[in-house]
Chains A and B, each alone.
Chain A
Amino acid sequence: MSATAAQGHSEGHAHDHGHHHKETFITKYIFSQDHKMISKQYLITGLIMGVLGIAMSLLFRMQIAWPGESFKIFEVLLGKWAPEGVMDPNIYLALVTIHGTIMVFFVLTQGLSGTFSNLLIPLQIGARDMASGFMNMISYWMFFLSSVIMVLSLFVEAGPAAAGWTIYPPLSALPQAMGGSGMGMTLWLVSMAIFIASSLLGSLNYVVTVINLRTKGMSMTRLPLTIWAFFVTAIIGIVSFPVLLSAALLLIMDRSFGTSFFLSDIFIQGEVLHYQGGSPVLFEHLFWFLGHPEVYIVLLPALGITSEIIATNSRKPIFGYRAMVASILAIAFLSTIVWGHHMFISGMNPFLGSVFTFTTLLIAIPSAVKAFNYITTLWKGNLQLNPAMLFSIGLVSTFITGGLTGIILGDSALDINVHDTYFVVAHFHLVMGISALYGMFAGIYHWFPKMFGRMLNKNLGYIHFWITAICAYGVFFPMHFVGMAGVPRRYYTNTNFPMFDDLTNIQVVMTVFALIAGLAQLIFAWNFIHSIFYGKKAPQNPWNSNTIEWTTPVEHIHGNWPGEIPEVHRWAYDYSKTNEDGEYVIPGQDFVPQTLPLQENEEELNH
């Protein structure tokens, strides 16, 4: 019903949209309300932040591998924080902190979700634009503003925030405890508050658009899995981000207005502070109530993108569409009741630990279903190994490798000895960092033609993938051993413990792989920038895909479709579908676009 109403509205819109074409440079490229332009803005901002985040990780990896060594590059980039080229412990922690913040929030939340939700939701559900173009624009500009503030915080006199990306108080609340907890942390909190507002505006828009603006015939069960993933991600974001905002606000009050929400009984630098009665554990609860769903906010869009790409490039329907949707929903639901597994040894009641172990290990079930379904989709396919497909297969691989160690960490008893060690770092980098990055790259390679009207160079794409894939395992697989040997994370150097001396060579191996991986991203950067201007012109439907974004013209137009919005008659996964006589539904073509009505003597599937 609502879909029809929206349709009527959109048609009315289509009639008059030919009249207002007077776009200036500012309304077209800067304060644009067009979802396609906004998605490009998100992508490019996200990629620039990504360059920063990755560069930081290379710097601190060098410090870990060659502790206390003097490097010219430290002196150049870090200035006073690297006297004579030796990295200062304060800036080491700051780099770790800001690397985490940038990668989790700025690259993999808004860079990934913002880009592809904006690009694909209207295009794949058949809408002229987002429900509110204006809100969409505000959302991007708030994201931009928060990025700018985060980057500015790097230049604060006493150093940027350095209490870890989880900013646990009291460390993050007391400038006496570390320099970064002064102005740097203030800017971090301000930036994050704006970021959360941006994310909420975006998410509300996505949800409303998916619910209301689907074209005729696009029932929920005909949605491509990408849209399901973006839709559910947006819902998790709406549920959990406000809690982080409240945590940030309370922390701001503790820091600036003398309240004691998170602080109590503190004696520091020779004096007793007035705080009384607060609890840092409360902050941990509030933080991880967002923090854990955040993992899935990062991961689900990547899984959605992968589902679409694997089906398209296998020339097969995604196996178990309904199970895939169900597992997205199950993961989303469970993700909001597992936050306590970050806090098994925080001092909370051990009984709670038992409950959170139970819910946490349950997540392995829908995750396993997803992994098996991906593998089955490949089975007996006709795999077109485009770069996007390689990254998608890579995602399934790292998702399994990283996900499995979650069974160890999610078990409260086993967590005791690996908590906060490199084992955790290895786990979450594989399962959410690398996997989500692969998903992002897959999406960029796949939809680049839709975004920029040109193709990315595939050979550079292949090289990019293979180097990245080898290095990703080269960095994070050995890291598990370091963690099992008991090395805590966020140590500036491990040389103060002779028991860790035999790990030095592993650290060097990991760092060398990381440096090579970092360099490999330059190939991508070059490919990306070069192809925007000089890439080969893209055909309308380069990957022979069923989804309706490929029925729009290559040149972007306001309103997406020149004429009426196409009507949808089937689900998105009729690849290689044959009639009873063994012939493709459309003779000579192994895909059936969603816009094609049911053919004669074609068997209808229950979708």
Chain B
Amino acid sequence: MTALLTIIVLLLVAIAIWQMTKIFELSQVGTENSQIANDKDNKINGYLMFGFLIFIYLLTIYSFWEWGDVLLGTPASKHGPEYDSLMHISMALIFFVQIVTQALLYFFAYKYRGQKGKKALFYADNDKLEFIWTIIPVIVLAGLILYGLFTWTSLMDIDEEEGDPIIIELYAQQFNWKARYAGADNVLGKANVRLIDINKNNVLGIDETDPYGQDDVVSQTELHLPVGRKIIFKMRSQDVLHSAYMPHFRAQMNCVPGMITQFSFTPTITTEEMRMDPGIAEKVQHINKIRAKRRANGDDNADPWEFDYVLLCNKICGPSHYNMQMKIVVETQEEFDAWMKEQDTFKKTIAAAE
């Protein structure tokens, strides 16, 4: 069906092109054929320039109207709103500049389309004008740079002493994620890929002799986070570059083999609460409608969807890069503690393997 539709579309386009060529050719009858634009070409293309300006505006409006709701929605971390407001300000600015400059560009192209005998204005320089449009970007950008740098500094300021953080290691490998919690002492045990021992179920290469590592907890399926608690992620990778991308929290950091990278944020909305968020609820409803349609067609991968936070890999890491994910569950401290209790500590896992 799709193939047929594609072929039809392509055929129609080909016919349209053929017809357009004919129109252009016919409109040339009786004029000299120098292949250099004449008044008629200038006129047609001048009008088309104006039409194109309208096309860009319509495309912008249509995109917002049709796809404005696909975006990520309410940020779920403490720094998220800060991030979003910087984004909104920057966006407002670039849309303003975009609308004005494109209008000038295409309007001039239309207004001053050539005519035989018309005189162009010899206008080579104007220091004042150039000064103005150098200094305005300078001032605006200075503001943006400063605002951006303040936000960046506050985002990347990772202080382990302050705010009672939980330390969690995100461990990346082709093609899945694992999470290691620092346990009761909140200190991660030493680890290195050279210590990996699959037989003993020590998949993260935790140093068995390090006392700090004994109470560490490894989760291979889900990443649980308590709401309202500062979390410091320490990222590690065992094979190639990966990137831990948690779009709902406005968080991302690469995982680099041979190195520990870090990122910190405080989740503010539990998974349950986020499902109630009007924007998210609407999105889920919309997507479930799409999935219902697919189900009706008998496609697989069409079960109803329930919103969950997700951790994606966002650095090309191999053939299955597109499916390297982990579910994130943000819950209350009590729920988190209860979940934690069910997990085996590293000491227990090792003992069980032996």
| Residues of chain A whose beta carbon lies under 8 Å from any beta carbon of chain B | 66, 69, 71-72, 89-90, 93, 163-164, 168-171, 174, 177-178, 263-268, 270, 272, 277-281, 314-323, 345-347, 350, 353-354, 357-358, 361-362, 364-365, 368-369, 371-376, 378-386, 389-390, 393, 396-397, 400-401, 404-405, 407-408, 411-414, 416-417, 419-421, 455-460, 462-463, 466-467, 469-470, 473-474, 477-478, 481-482, 484-486, 488, 490-499, 501-504, 506, 512, 515-516, 519-520, 523, 535-536, 539, 542-543, 573, 575-578, 590, 605
Contacts and interface: CB of A to CB of B under 8 A. Distances in A.
A576 B314 contact: no
Contacts of B241: 168, 170-171, 280
A93 B33 contact: no
Contacts of A268: 174, 238-240
B125 interface: yes
Contact of B35 (A93, A281, A380, A458): A458
A572 B321 CA distance: 53
Given A272-B194, A357-B152, A420-B314, A317 B124 contact: yes
B115 interface: yes
Contacts, number: 409
9 contacts: A168-B240, A171-B240, A265-B257, A365-B138, A372-B101, A385-B46, A386-B36, A396-B105, A493-B322
Given A272-B194, A385-B37, A590 B144 contact: no
Nearest to B72: A486
A99 to B, nearest CB: 14
Contacts of B106: 393, 397
Nearest to A350: B156
B250 A416 contact: yes
Given A413-B155, A416-B83, A267 B193 contact: yes
Contact of B105 (A397, A473, A575): A397
A474 B56 CA distance: 9
B300 to A, nearest CB: 10
Interface in B188-239: 192-194, 196, 198, 205, 235, 238-239
Contacts of A492: 319, 321-322
Nearest to A506: B67
Q: Which of B21, B148, B310, B325 has the most CB of A within 10 A?
A: B148
Interface stretch (B6-14, B162-170, B328-336, B344-352): B6-14
Interface string B277-307: 0000001001100110000000001000101
B74 to A, nearest CB: 13
A408 B95 CA distance: 12
Given A319-B123, A578-B122, A383 B291 contact: no
B276 interface: no
Contacts of B320: 89
B193 A381 contact: no
Contacts of A376: 123, 129
B318 interface: yes
A358 B106 CA distance: 32
A385 B133 CA distance: 27
A177 B114 contact: no
Interface residues of B, number: 131
B37 A361 contact: no
A477 B113 CA distance: 27
A412 B325 CA distance: 25
Contact of B121 (A316, A421, A463): A316
A416 B322 CA distance: 19
B60 A477 contact: yes
B109 interface: yes
Nearest to A408: B90
B161 interface: no
A408 B59 contact: no
A40 to B, nearest CB: 20
A416 B316 contact: no
Nearest to B301: A495
Given A93-B316, A414-B83, A383 B109 contact: yes
B91 A516 contact: no
Given A379-B121, A458-B36, 5 more contacts: A267-B196, A376-B123, A417-B72, A459-B21, A484-B70
A11 to B, nearest CB: 33
Nearest to A343: B254
Given A404-B97, A481-B63, A382 B119 contact: yes
Contacts of A578: 119, 122
Contact of A473 (B56, B198, B245): B56
Contacts of A419: 243, 252, 314
B161 to A, nearest CB: 18
B120 A381 contact: yes
B258 A498 contact: no
Nearest to B309: A499
A347 B259 CA distance: 9
A380 B123 contact: yes
A168 B256 CA distance: 11
A174 B317 CA distance: 11
Given A89-B320, A317-B123, A463-B24, A400 B71 contact: no
Given A267-B239, A413-B86, A379 B108 contact: yes
B141 A576 contact: no
Given A267-B239, A371-B101, A400-B105, A502 B287 contact: yes
B305 A459 contact: no
Interface string B29-49: 000011111000110111011
B149 A354 contact: yes
Contacts of B343: none
Contacts of A318: 124
